[in-house]
Amino acid sequence: MPHYFDSAHQEEIETLRRRFTARTEWPTWLLLIGVYGGWFGIVLYSHRLGLWGSTLLLIPLLVLWLSVQHELLHGHPTRWPILNKILGYAPFAVWYPYTLYRDSHLLHHRDEDLTIPGRDPESRYLSAGQWQGSSILVRRLHWLNKTVLGRFALGAPLALLALAGEELQRLKAGNRQAWLMWLSHGAMTGLMLLLIKNFSVLPVWHYLFLISLPALSIAMIRSYYEHRPLAAPKQRTVLNEAAWPWRWLFLNLNFHLVHHELPGLPWYDLPRAYRARREQWLVRSGGFLVQGYGQLWREHGVKAIDSPRHPFH
């Protein structure tokens, strides 16, 4: 636990961890059962739900699945990484293998590297060298990606293009781990798409580009302004007081500073930890507070929130 928490705050966190809910992790188990059951139920009964009814149900379910995978890689609902990997390996959202997401995201939790290009794998900023070496078109795309509308429309394609470039380099270099990961993920994804093709009303192309890709685009809204490039590492992470539908889809990761400070705290305890010490968290964040995703849309729907060029790297 961070050393700057006073004894009373530390005791509050330990009390949360000692509760029956935290010890059994039943909310996360229930969530896993719900997502797996929901996905198979929608796909197998899609002939009754119809193409677009199934689509409208599957998109938020996949957004939720991405959030569930995030919980799994942080050690929930079990303490055994291999079991959590098995639980989270289903390729419902298609594009990111679980192990790739796990390994890159855990590197992202080095707070001293947050937002810094080349060191934070989830940075949305370019270094001075990257900026100078970019074409006008690429620069404009990155500026658009700094708006909420641009992040929704371009965030997923840009992220997937960057992912393809990085992973192709690893595969060309003969990286054994990369080959094993992509072969296993590809096999699982192929089996899933065969199931969809043979037992649902959903065309495979429809699932890939009208369900999975939009789900990833919605998930990109969460990461739109989670971090800012500031000198003090602990003041780079946001506290977003989002409305309940977003909190549910993102499993309370809008309280992002709380998650970064207490990454072992499960999703259902993040709001409790935040509300118990709200003013202290706000001070800790340097006042980095957003009043929900609606505020971001109103103020930055079509206006860039900051420069895509990192200010001090």
**250 closest CA partner among 230, 276, 223:** 223
Q: Which pTM does this prediction carry?
A: 0.94
Query: 299-310 pLDDT, tens per residue?
Result: 999 999 999 999
CA angle 105, 108, 113 (to 5 degrees): 170
Residue 1: pLDDT over 70: no
3-state secondary structure of 239: strand
**Percentage, residues of the chain above pLDDT 90:** 93
3-state secondary structure of 227: strand
Rounded mean pLDDT, 189-212: 98
State the Cα–Cα distance between residues 74 and 187, nearest whole angstrom.
Answer: 25
Residue burial 75-97, b: 16+ Cβ < 10 Å; e: rest: ebbeeeeeebeebbebbbbbbbb
Tokens of 166: 């990085």
More confident residue, 5 or 288: 288
State the Cα–Cα distance between residues 170 and 104, nearest whole angstrom.
Answer: 14
State the Cα–Cα distance between residues 261 and 75, nearest whole angstrom.
Answer: 15
The predicted structure's pLDDT at residue 312: 87
Q: CA separation (Å) from 5 to 116, 219, 264, 274? A: 26, 31, 15, 13
**Percentage, residues of the chain above pLDDT 70:** 99
At 138, which amino acid appears?
Answer: V
